[in-house]
């Protein structure tokens, strides 16, 4: 599927014309709203000639708009395998947890790592913005990441900026998620077969501080379950102790090695690949969610988030869609003067 926006003649709705088997030409009179998600929205834009010109030329697709940010800036939550312990007692089932919505524990970095969060923030701020981005990345993408780096550094020092979320409910053990990874991935066309599924590279832990943060999260849950002040300590068999990762993983390097083998880089909340940022920062859509350089084309899905929200993306999409509806309606209204 590709997009083609044309001006219709006369009054009436847009038209759909069939051309041969399986092909349709869709003419839109007012606006095309693209909402295919953070994986397929950039693919459709790329197939339509809206992407970095260098990639489009390799794919032999005519360049309509050179927008290097399309398909860049990919973010997602990452699952950290749960820290598990051998118990000496079975906890009684709590009906509200088993059949209700459950709870969600959201933690800022000062809560996760009270002795190290400041040094982690300082390490992140000291990085060159291009240091851990893909090679040969466009300068505008680097400029946009520099803005994110500044904001995330402040977030690392803020106890209310959630870096970890853990659902507590029907699951037998918590399943922590890294909410704000520092690495950035890409979504690009498969040059050998552009119409097939795109190539999705999460590049998780390409920024090594991601693993440092998750390793600190493991240490937090060890304290949470077995620390001297923990009310859960009474249920843990301290002789058998930890079953995952296990007693053999105590050093930072040991924990990070275990995470490289076990951490899941996606919780199916991809975001950021057609970001609402300034064009000089690698942005793809403006404040009205309109694609730069194209008339009558907007994007409404998680791809427009510059950084992934620290909450379920579905809720944020609902809010974005409500705002987008007002923006699109306002553009569609024609005021006739007398």
Q: 221 and 304 share a domain?
A: no
Whether residue 214 lies inside any domain: the answer is yes
> Which of 125, 163, 129, 158 has the alpha carbon at shortest distance from 145?
129
Instruction: Convert the pLDDT of each residue in 137-158 to its tens digit.
Output: 999 999 999 999 999 999 999 9
CATH of the domain at 40: 3.50.50.60
pLDDT at 171: 43
Question: What region does 37 belong to: left with phi over 0, alpha with psi -120 to 50, or beta?
Answer: left
Give a yes or no: residue 48 inside a domain.
yes
pLDDT at 9: 45
Residue 6 lies in a domain: no
What is the C-alpha end-to-end distance of the chain, expressed in Å?
A: 43
- Domain end point (choices 241, 262, 283): 262
List of E strands, 4-142: 15-18, 24-27, 32-34, 50-51, 65-66, 78-79, 84-85, 103-108
pTM of the predicted model, to two decimals?
A: 0.88
Range of the structural domain that residue 93 is part of: 78-262
Of 219, 243, 262, the residue that ends a domain is: 262
User: Is residue 54 in some structural domain?
Assistant: yes
Residues 55 and 118 grouped into a single domain: no
Cβ–Cβ under 8 Å, residues 15 and 56: no
Number of domains in the chain: 2
Q: Residue 313 contacts by C-beta under 8 Å, 6 or more apart in sequence? A: 269, 271, 302, 305
Asked if residue 61 and residue 124 are part of one domain, the reply reads no
Q: Please identify every stretch of the chain with a pLDDT value under 70, giving residue numbers as ranges.
A: 1-22, 89-103, 168-174, 334-338
Q: What was the pLDDT predicted at 167? A: 72
Q: Is residue 37 part of a domain?
A: yes
Closest CA to 69 of 138, 128, 3, 130: 138
Q: For position 92, what pLDDT does the model report? A: 61
Q: Are residues 319 and 228 in the same domain?
A: no
Last residue of a domain, one of 262, 289, 321: 262
Give the pLDDT confidence of 50-102 residue by residue, as tens digits: 999 999 999 999 999 999 999 999 999 999 888 888 888 666 665 655 555 55
186 and 113 in one domain? Answer: yes
- Same domain for 193 and 109: yes
**pLDDT at site 10:** 42
- Please tell me the distance from the alpha carbon of residue 41 to that of residue 181, in angstroms, as a whole number: 22
Burial class (CB in 10 A: 0-12, 13-18, 19+), 147: middle
Task: Tell me, yes or no, whether 126 and 35 share the same domain.
Answer: no
Is residue 286 domain-resident?
yes
Could you give phi then psi for residue 199, rounded to 5 degrees? -90, 120
**34 and 165 housed in the same domain:** no
Same domain, 83 and 115: yes
Nearest by Cα to 34 from 317, 336, 333, 298? 298
What is the distance between the alpha carbons of residues 90 and 92, in angstroms, rounded to a whole number? 6
Q: Is there a domain that residue 23 lies in?
A: no
95 and 230 in a single domain? The answer is yes
Contact criterion met (CB below 8 Å) for 107 and 162: yes
Whether 94 and 207 share a structural domain: yes
CA 72, CA 283: separation in Å to the nearest integer? Answer: 10
> 65-66 and 50-51 as β-strands: parallel, antiparallel, unpaired?
parallel
My answer on whether 110 and 194 are in the same domain is yes
User: How long, in residues, is the chain?
Assistant: 338
Burial class (CB in 10 A: 0-12, 13-18, 19+), 244: middle
258 is a domain residue: yes
């Amino acid at each position: 599927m590709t997009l083609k926006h044309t001006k219709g003649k006369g009054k009436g709705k847009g038209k759909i014309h069939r051309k041969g088997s399986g092909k349709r030409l869709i003419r839109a009179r007012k606006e095309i709203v693209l909402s295919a998600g953070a994986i397929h929205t950039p693919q459709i834009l790329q197939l339509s000639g809206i992407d970095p010109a260098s990639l489009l030329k390799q794919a032999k697709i005519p360049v309509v708009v050179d927008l290097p940010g399309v398909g860049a800036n990919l973010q997602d939550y990452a699952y950290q395998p749960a820290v598990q312990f051998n118990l000496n007692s079975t906890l009684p089932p709590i009906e509200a947890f088993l059949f209700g919505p459950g709870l969600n524990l959201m933690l800022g970095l000062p809560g996760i790592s009270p002795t190290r969060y400041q040094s982690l923030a300082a390490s992140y701020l000291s990085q060159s913005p291009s240091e851990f981005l893909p090679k040969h990345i466009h300068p505008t993408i680097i400029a946009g990441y520099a803005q994110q780096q500044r904001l995330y550094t402040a977030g690392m020092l803020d106890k209310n900026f959630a870096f970890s979320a853990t659902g507590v409910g029907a699951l037998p053990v918590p399943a922590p998620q890294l909410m704000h990874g520092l690495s950035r991935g890409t979504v690009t066309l498969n040059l050998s077969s552009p119409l097939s599924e795109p190539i999705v590279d999460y590049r998780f832990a390409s920024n090594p501080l991601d693993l440092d943060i998750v390793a600190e999260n493991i240490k937090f849950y060890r304290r949470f379950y077995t620390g001297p002040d923990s009310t859960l300590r009474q249920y843990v068999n301290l002789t058998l102790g930890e079953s995952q990762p296990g007693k053999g993983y105590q050093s930072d390097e040991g924990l990070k090695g275990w995470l490289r083998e076990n951490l899941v880089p996606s919780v199916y909340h991809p975001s950021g690949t057609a970001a609402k940022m300034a064009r000089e920062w690698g942005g793809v859509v403006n404040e009205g969610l309109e694609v730069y350089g194209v008339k009558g084309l907007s994007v409404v899905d998680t791809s427009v988030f510059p950084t992934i929200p620290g909450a379920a993306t579905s809720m944020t999409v609902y809010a974005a869609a409500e705002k987008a509806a007002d923006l699109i309606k306002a553009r569609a209204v024609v005021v006739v003067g007398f």
